[in-house]
Amino acid sequence: MSNRNPILEFKNIHVQVEGKEVVRGVSLTIRAGETHAIMGPNGSGKSSLSNALMGHPSYQITRGEAFLDGRDILTMSADERSRAGLFLAFQYPLAIPGVTVANFLRSALQAHRGKEADMSDFRKLLRAKLAELEIDENFVSRYLNDGFSGGEKKRIEILQMSVLNPRMAILDETDSGLDIDALKTVAEGINRFHNDTNGVLMVTHYQRLLNYVKPEYVHVMMAGQIVTSGGPELALKLEDLGYDWLEKEPAASTGA
Amino acid sequence: MTQLSSIDYSIPEVAAELERGPKWLRDRRKLSRDAFNRTPVPPRGLHLWRYTDPMRFLFERGSVSDSAFDRDKDAVHQLGARYLRDGHLSAFVSDLAGRDVQIQTTEELTARSVVVSPLSEAVDQHRELVELYLYQLINQQTGKFEAMNGALWNDGIFVYVPNNTVVEQPIHLLREAGQAHSAQFPRLLVVVGKNAELTLIDEYSGGSTSTDDGITYSNGAVEIFGMQESRIRYVSVQRQAPGVQSYLTHRARIERGATMLTIPLAFGAAISKQNFGVIMNGPSADSKMYGLLFGTDHQQFDNHTLHHHAHGHTTSNIDFKVVLGDKATSAYTGLIRIDHNAEFCEAYQENRNLLLNPGTRADSIPELEILNEEVTCTHGATVGPIDPMQLFYLNSRGIHKPEAVRMVVSGFVASTLKMVSDDLRERITQIVEQRLEAI
């Protein structure tokens, strides 16, 4: 373990959806400069964990605590969590018809900075980020996610991340729906964003993205709990063997 | 206050209205007067009267008066000069409570024989056209309140565009309502010749600022005729003051190959009942209507639209949007009528209602009278609050809740505003934003 400061730290998180417990006591600490991955089969609770940490109204955190840079985020509304530096790239980003990508990004940036974003500075920033992610400039005058392909939505999520430059980015199934070229571009975007002062948590079913964004720590989630943790080699083992072998082992490796 | 139950000569001002104009017009006024007096007040269960009390449009006996407009007329005219200069208009018309019509036009317009005139003058100077078209679509048979306008309209506006003439810049009509305890009957007649083109902005504003101070009654009628291959854009903006009880009937008829874009926008008045209708009377006639209303406080809206396919091979599309805050209510009734002999028509209708507050209420009533089987016709309606998931998505990017609501609503209305020209869009966006701040 490095002695760097924790960016995101959560302990014994329990999450309910419609009265059903889907996350049952998950703890994790992500320090500055670290990249973590949570892997797990469908329905393991990893997306629920991500959404609950962001403050999604359908996901209730019933027990546990969570801190971003030492500040309790569970008492914050979703917009406060974002302004505090938390970012979630959604698995299924929603369309907002009539609101252009550019207007949306400018409003978000203004909310983060607490003041008007100068138009020419904003345009410059946006143009640079678009070039990095190989997104056509005309794209920003389209309505947010309205009629976008799966891959376009994911790129726009990463674009939002690079513009807002959060302390902690959680990426929920960001690789799904991407062809190999788009996957590489998105991975480059994540690598370019990541540095010694921020944290990245990738939530994914497959290890495909992990070929391009290398995590130092891999955690496996099943039935609402982390059942084992390890290094990058764990992801490769899952690639070869799937998740079945874990079900046969007791959940002892969580240290619970 | 006594409501007027019959139009008769016991009120001198009413008598004066009925005697205004040449004989043919006086005869028409009397037909309307008789129809008004004969027709009972519509019972509440009657079609199109389920949601609004008709008594609200029967004005007080004392409210027909030549001194209805007490505001500074010069200020309105200066506004017109400014609009004309900055607004890229070809004409600006100020209509003060249907009594004083002032017109400013560019020389170019006059040179091309386009007529923009007070209706009271046009009945003499352009008698053939006016006598032929006035009362053709809205008359004593249309309904009690249309008959009221037909009898009592004092002044109005006449616009005529000759064949093959393109009016590039819009003509802007500003209809300023009169003070509290006044009644007015604005009237508009528009005739657009073959292969001619016109954009008309018809803006209704002013009036009593609170029903507590007294009511301003406004009862308007708009008739538009588009000849073969004509292209018309008509924008109606109702942003009257909160003490106005407002009634408006609009009918347009377009001939072969003509296109009509109608944009009804309603933001103001205590009660606003509006009826917009387009009749497609020749093959390839096409009508599009993009409506938007935005209510707050206790405002009450009752809107009807009609797309009447009187001829085969005609197309129509309606997208009518409603946004309601506070305790505002809206009823939208959209009728598509396709005549028996009108084959191969296409008609689409959509009505979406966005409710920003639990105290609001929106009714959506689609009506189809389709007498021909060889047609394509669809309609849809939605009523509901803002999707909380959309709000969460915006919140998750740091955007505060009120700002997120504002963004979703401006997104909702964006497709309608896109249909309006740039300068007008800016002003309508301002009105929408003022509404949002009040939520």
Q: What one-letter code names the amino acid at B283?
A: P
Neighbours of B369 (CB within 10 A): 11
Q: Which residue of A has its CA nearest to B418?
A: A98
Averaged pLDDT for residues B293-308? 96
Residue B313, pLDDT score: 97
Average pLDDT, chain A: 92
Distance between terminal CA atoms of chain B? Answer: 33
* Domains of chain A, residue spans: 6-93+164-254
Task: Report the pLDDT value the prediction gives residue B68, as an integer from 0 to 100.
Answer: 61
Chain B hits for A147, CB-CB cut-off 8 Å, are none
Residue keyed to tokens 């609501």: B405
Joined tokens for residue A85: 């530096």
B389 interfacial to chain A (CB closer than 8 Å): yes
Taking residues A15-41, report their average pLDDT. Answer: 96
Give B321's contacts in chain A (Cβ within 8 Å): none
Q: Which residues of chain B make contact with A160, given a CB cutoff of 8 A?
A: 397
Decide if A77 touches B, using CB distance below 8 A. Answer: yes
- How far apart are alpha carbons A23 and A47 in whole angstroms? 10
**CATH top-level class of A6-93+164-254:** alpha beta
Between CA B296 and CA B360 the distance in angstroms is: 9
In angstroms, the CA A58 to CA A48 distance is 9
- The answer, yes or no, to whether residue B341 has pLDDT greater than 60, is yes
Q: Tokens 């799937």 belong to which residue?
A: A242
Q: d(Cα B431, Cα B435) in Å, to the nearest integer?
A: 6
The predicted pLDDT at position A252 comes to: 46
Model confidence at B439, pLDDT cuts 50, 70, 90, reads low
Judge contact between B144 and B64, C-beta under 8 A: no
pLDDT band at B47 (very low <50, low <70, confident <90, very high): confident
d(CA A103, CA A108): 9
pLDDT tens-place string over residues A141-200: 999 999 999 889 999 999 999 999 999 999 999 988 888 988 999 999 999 999 999 999
Q: What is the ipTM of this complex?
A: 0.94
Q: Shortest Cα distance from B412 to chain A (angstroms)? A: 6
In angstroms, the separation between the Cα of residue B323 and the nearest Cα of chain A is 15
Q: Which amino acid is at B141?
A: Q
Inter-residue contact A225 to A25 (CB < 8 Å): yes
pLDDT tens, A70-97?
A: 999 999 999 999 999 999 999 999 999 9
A88, A96, A98 member nearest B396 (Cβ): A88
pLDDT score of A256 more than 50: no
pLDDT at B87 over 70: no
- Identity of the residue in A81, A83, A96 whose CB atom sits nearest the CB atom of B411: A96
- Residue whose token pair is 């004392």: B62
* Section B135-162 average pLDDT: 95
- Nearest by CB: B400 against A55, A79, A81: A79
Q: Is the confidence at residue B156, as pLDDT, over 60?
A: yes
Residue A246 vs residue B208, higher pLDDT? B208
Closest C-alpha to B42, from B134, B148, B186, B139: B148
Q: How many CB contacts within 8 angstroms connect chain A with chain B?
A: 79
Q: Looking at CA atoms only, how far is residue A54 from chain B in angstroms?
A: 7
pLDDT at B257 over 60: yes
Residue B56 DSSP label: G
Task: Taking each helix axis as running N to C, give the angle between helix B422-437 and helix B401-417, from 0 to 180 degrees, rounded to the nearest 10.
Answer: 150
Total residue length of chain A: 256
Residues 6+ apart with CB under 8 A from B252: B137, B222, B223, B224, B225, B226, B232, B234, B260, B262, B277, B278, B279, B287
Chain centroid to CA B433: 22
The residue among B322, B256, B253 whose CA lies nearest residue B290 is B322
Cβ atoms of B164 and B192 closer than 8 Å:
no
Given this model, what pLDDT does residue A253 score? 46
pLDDT tier for residue B427 given thresholds of 50, 70 and 90: confident
Q: Which one-letter amino acid corresponds to residue B321?
A: K
DSSP string, chain A: ---SPEEEEEEEEEEEETTEEEEEEEEEEEETT-EEEEE--TTSSHHHHHHHHHT-TTEEEEEEEEEETTEE-TTS-HHHHHHHTEEEE-SSPPPEEEEEHHHHHHHHHHHHHTSPPPHHHHHHHHHHHHHHTT--GGGGGSEETTT--HHHHHHHHHHHHHHH--SEEEEESTTTT--HHHHHHHHHHHHHH--TT-EEEEEESSSGGGGTS--SEEEEEETTEEEEEE-HHHHHHHHHH-SHHHHHS-GGGG--
Report the gap between the CA of B429 and the closest CA in chain A (Å): 13
Q: Do A83 and B398 touch (CB under 8 A)?
A: yes
Beta bridge pairs of residue B338: B309, B370
The yes-or-no verdict on residue A255 having pLDDT over 50 is no
C-alpha distances in Å from residue B320, one per residue of A248, B284, B332, B346: 59, 23, 9, 17
Over residues B202-219, the mean pLDDT reads 93
- DSSP-based three-state secondary structure for B15: helix
pLDDT by residue (tens digit) across B346-370?
999 999 999 999 999 999 999 999 9
CB spacing of B407 vs A96 below 8 angstroms: yes
Mean pLDDT taken over chain B: 91
pLDDT of residue A236: 87
A160–B394 C-beta distance less than 8 A:
no
CA of B267, closest CA in chain A: separation in Å? 20
Residue B92: how many other CB atoms lie within 10 Å? 27
Given A79, A90, A96, which is nearest B398 (Cβ)?
A79
- What distance in Å separates the CA atoms of residue A226 and residue A229, rounded to the nearest whole number? 7
